[in-house]
Structure 1
Amino acid sequence: MATSISFVGLSCFLLSLCLVCSLKEGYAFEEQRESHAESYLTHTFQVSSLFASSICNHSTKANERESTFRVVDKYGPCFQPSLHRSVVSPSLTDILRSDRARIYSIQARLSKNSGRRDHIVEPNSVRIPVKDGSAFKTPNYLVTVGLGTPKTDLSLVLDTGSRLTWTQCESCTICYKQSEPLFDPEESKSYVNIAKTDSVCDYVDHPVDGKYCSYVIGYGDGTSSLGYFSKETLTMSAEKIESFLFGCGTENKGTFGLEAGILGLNQEKASIVSQTAQKYKKIFSYCLPSLASSTGHLTFGSQTPAPANIKYTKLVAQKSPYYGLDLIGIGLRGTKLNIPESIFTTPGTIIDSGAVYTYLPPVAYTTFRDAFRVAMSAYPWIPGPTARIETCYDFSKSTSVTVPEISFFFKDGTVVGIPGKSSLVTENSKLSCLGFQEYYPNDKQSIIGNSVQRTMEVVYDIPGQRVGFAPNGCS
């Protein structure tokens, strides 16, 4: 009996010991995971990496696929003539003003638009590197394409919100200063005027009576371009697009910088996306560079292999011809903030290559801003240049900065993490500000701007009705 009791006691002791060990091991595992998660969901970087270098940093990603060529910022260190020019990048106030004009145009267009998508099949692929457009006194990004035969190289704004590709043409009656020679249709063997009676003339607003088709396009700040809607050969690297529809601008006025025009990437019939549907199947992607001294790329067609670690979310048809997403929340360090989903879903969201800041509904913005400030309490907060640019920091006395990862939560369960550095818009060493804004009372949707998209491969798969996000698409 004594032996039996002793055996039972020993068994209980051993069982208790195992439970204690198990609990200790489990606690250690949880502690390690939490530590790993904390380090993964914050991003530490050198303060110096917020500023463009004097040395060109070509993206190696642009050479990974066929039909690739490299283009650079003509006023940055990747283009030698830039050494002889002095161009000042826009201030945060300038960027905000430009954003406002752009958003006004988007709102007006959405209020009366009805877009459609065509059915498409499997694609080829071609890539065009992208350069930072800030040196052109525009907060957008530029790609260089060839127009005509022989071709004239032109730097155009990459614009997912525009329905038309256009450029200034030689002998224009109203011209703004641009960095490259104007396109001269009389010097091109492949230029063709479009008759006013041609059905494609209905792709654009044509205000001028006459034998040939005209176009006019305007923007929210009063800027506009008017000219002839024409056909020409468009060259992207070694790829040529024959009979490409574009605007040959003869009257161009407003607040353009030194860029030669616009590359329209929305879903309407005159856009390059729709015009190349037979070849590239309405699939394209881009990676916006982090700095003016780096390059990114623009790719038409599907990619093989697909970008690593890509996450797709649903494309919302109701926002066509823009690119709508089902955003339902925003978070920090992987944790979704306590904001009702209806705050996001009622207005809806679009992703845009042209707006710099990301614009959120008032309640969402305030909650997010306050949480971001708490997470950044280790750094000196300073007032911004305007009342709307209100969450800014002076990093001039720091060598490195740790910023929380920002997450976008979508209705289909997709969660996309944004690198901490991409959440900041920087003007100088003493002024780095949160790249988010509260949208205006009359605005009709949230906008995911280009600053948070930097260095990510953003894939637009229109036949698949989805948009994908992959990290580390470029530097």
Structure 2
Amino acid sequence: MATVLSLLLVVLLSHAPSAFPATTTAATTGFRVAITRTHSPNSFTFKERFHRAVQRSRRRREVLKLANYSRHDVEAVFKWGDSEYLIELAVGTPMQPITAILDTGSDLIWTQCTPCIRCLPQPSPYYKPSTSSTYSVLPCSSPSCSGVGHRCNQKACQYDTSYGDNTETRGFLATETLTFGRKRVPGLTFGCGIWNNGTLSGSTGIVGLGRGTLSLPSQLHPRRFSYCLTPYNSSSTGHLFLGSKAKLGRRHRGGHVQTTPMLPSPSAVPFNTYYYLPIQGISLGRTLLPIPKTAFQIKKDGNGGMIIDSGTLLTIVDPAAFHVIVKKILSLVHLPVATSTDELLCFSWTPGLHRLPEMPDMVFHFDGADMVVPKDKYMISDPEEGLCLAIMSGEGTSILGNYMQQDMHILYDLKANSLSFADARCDQL
């Protein structure tokens, strides 16, 4: 493998206009990019889709837990491809289109490229650095090289990243011009993946939005960024906003903008990737649930607490919090229980025989802000097969998943270190 990579490096360098350029600071006044979502095949039933979502969310949580102990294990790109949100952009000069998974739980920006030892199927041609006049491989001496698991190959920075579902990408860190809509940004560090294994859910790679040095926000240095995710069962388009375009304006449904500070990552978390939120408790209707305070405490080893993540479908909470939530849900829902385990809760529901219950809003109480989650964002329903709680149990770090973030404009203020949110029609922003 090392010999093959060395030969490919020679090819990549031979076509690059400058092998080891100085790093370019990418400044931007602001832009927006459309967000779409992947969908599982229609042949999957509701029950199959839900249990696949459980498996993806469970694996995501496991990898987040593992990430506290290994600098090479990062978040999973999940196999069944119906919980990821995608953005379209272009790489290189002339521009070559790519479609990447949007992920606030990881940092590296990468795409599959040629010449390729092993590449996964994707909907568009593989990126060809040999045809781009703005592509340059980075040396190991580059500060960017320390932002990812890496090794040196003929003094070039070779990255090696493995994901929790056994997806892997290996290749070379390089600088390149990325284009978002009409906005061209030169000198961004990204991964040119020439050995890739696993699955990419119909995309070409990943755009990381985490807090680490190689993420898109960290490289662009915007004061803020935001996104608005369209509903799970919708084919409409949401948007990612960066810089001056990221703001919460008048177009939000009901209520007012809520703002909470983001907590610093524990020192045990590699690369400072995750966005931790100061959760104080959870209410269902007017009832503050008796969840132990220890359920959301951040531990010295990096586990515990709650992060917000665009790449996890279901919300995951500590078992102590889950059991309290389930007890309250069972007192409100008078339907036959289909699944009730230490991890999941589902009810049977037959149209014409059962009526969907009236259920109050769920409220996540953060420091200085309340996130109101209506029934259709914490319960997943299908008229033929059932009603399931969109919350699962898992030890370790709790995760506010993207199902609860639907039709909510969420703003990350990186200068103020705060998170703001408001209800919105994401397809109308």
Q: Give yes or no for TM over 0.5.
A: yes
Equivalent residue number for residue 286 of structure 1: 227
Range that drifts further, 101-110 or 174-183 = 101-110
Q: CA RMSD of the aligned region, Å?
A: 2.9
- Pick from 362, 378, 381 the counterpart of residue 406 of structure 1: 362
Cα distance, 1:166 vs. partner? 0.7
Cα distance, 1:288 vs. partner? 1.2
Q: Within 1, Cα distance between the matches of 2:50 and 2:57?
A: 10
Structure 1 residues 336 and 302: alpha-carbon distance in aligned structure 2, compared to 1, 3 A threshold: farther
Q: Within 1, Cα distance between the matches of 2:346 and 2:121?
A: 35
1:295-374 correspondence to structure 2 within 5 Å: 295-303=237-245, 306-308=248-250, 309-319=256-266, 320-346=272-298, 347-374=304-331
What secondary structure sits across from 1:190 in the alignment? Answer: coil
Instruction: Supply the AA of the counterpart residue of 2:324.
Output: T
* Residue pair 1:92, 1:427 contacting (<8 A) in 2 also: no
Instruction: Supply the AA of the counterpart residue of 1:421.
Output: D
- Pick from 78, 100, 108 the counterpart of residue 66 of structure 2: 108
Instruction: Supply the AA of the counterpart residue of 1:306.
Output: L
Q: Deviations over 1:158-192 (max 9, x none)?
A: 11111101111123111111122211112222211
- Pick from 185, 190, 205 the counterpart of residue 261 of structure 1: 205
Structure 1 residues 463 and 71: alpha-carbon distance in aligned structure 2, compared to 1, 3 A threshold: closer
* Residue pair 2:411, 2:420 contacting (<8 A) in 1 also: yes
Q: Deviations over 1:29-70 (max 9, x none)?
A: xxxxxxxxxxxxxxxxxxxxxxxxxxxxxxxxxxxxx84454
Cα distance, 1:99 vs. partner? 1.9
Equivalent residue number for residue 16 of structure 2: none
Cα distance, 1:303 vs. partner? 4.7
Q: Within 2, Cα distance between the matches of 1:174 and 1:356?
A: 29
Q: Deviations over 1:241-279 (max 9, x none)?
A: 1011111101111243211111111111111110000xx
Cα distance, 1:203 vs. partner? 2.2
Larger helix proportion of the pair: 1
Q: Within 2, Cα distance between the matches of 1:264 and 1:326?
A: 23
Q: Within 1, Cα distance between the matches of 2:105 and 2:247?
A: 28
Q: How many aligned positions are there? A: 375
* Residue pair 2:277, 2:308 contacting (<8 A) in 1 also: yes
> Are 1:462 and 2:414 matched, yes or no?
yes
> Are 1:187 and 2:187 matched, yes or no?
no
* TM-score, normalization by structure 2: 0.79
Unaligned 5+ runs, structure 1: 1-65, 77-84, 114-132
Cα distance, 1:344 vs. partner? 2.1
Q: Within 1, Cα distance between the matches of 2:350 and 2:414?
A: 41
> Are 1:275 and 2:219 matched, yes or no?
yes
Structure 1 residues 268 and 455: alpha-carbon distance in aligned structure 2, compared to 1, 3 A threshold: same
* TM-score, normalization by structure 1: 0.72
1:114-193 correspondence to structure 2 within 5 Å: 137-193=81-137
Instruction: Supply the AA of the counterpart residue of 1:200.
Output: S
Larger strand proportion of the pair: 2
* Residue pair 2:343, 2:394 contacting (<8 A) in 1 also: no
What secondary structure sits across from 2:213 in the alignment? Answer: coil
* Residue pair 2:35, 2:85 contacting (<8 A) in 1 also: no
Unaligned 5+ runs, structure 2: 1-29, 72-76, 251-255, 267-271, 299-303
> Are 1:451 and 2:403 matched, yes or no?
yes
The structure whose Rg is larger is 1
Q: Within 2, Cα distance between the matches of 1:74 and 1:351?
A: 20
Equivalent residue number for residue 301 of structure 2: none
